[in-house]
Amino acid sequence: MKVDKFKWKTMHSPNGGEKMSITEVKFNDGYSQIWSSGINKSNETWDLSYTGHCNELAEIRQFLNSHIIHSFQWVNPWGEERLYRVQNESIKSEFISSNVVKLSFTFVQSYAP
């Protein structure tokens, strides 16, 4: 299966986060045990936005809508190429003028196409 690639360069200030998949058990004496859960221990999210003419951003918007379920490759700001998908309901359009729009969305790390 061919995996698409997000080809547009990052604009503005990308905001990334990492969530570790852990399990923790705390005891009454203050002691706690913590361990990682599952095969994929961490999960990245990236909040991104692009501002430009509506016609220019239409291709990006189309790509985003077609990759909510299907994964794609993207090189994150750390320079790491990984699989991501678009988080459902994260695509937002803010019209600055009649022809200029700010398109915001969130990428969530994925582990299989």
Q: What is the pTM of this model?
A: 0.83
pLDDT in tens, 53-67: 999 999 999 999 999
- The answer to whether residues 43 and 108 touch, using CB atoms and an 8 Å cutoff, is yes
The C-alpha atoms of residue 36 and residue 27 are separated, in whole angstroms, by 18
The C-alpha atoms of residue 104 and residue 9 are separated, in whole angstroms, by 14
Indicate if the pLDDT at residue 91 is higher than 80.
yes
pLDDT at 60: 97
Instruction: Characterize the bridge pairing of strands 81-86 and 72-75.
Output: antiparallel
Percent of the chain with pLDDT over 70: 99
**Which domains, and CATH codes, for the chain?**
9-109 (2.40.30)
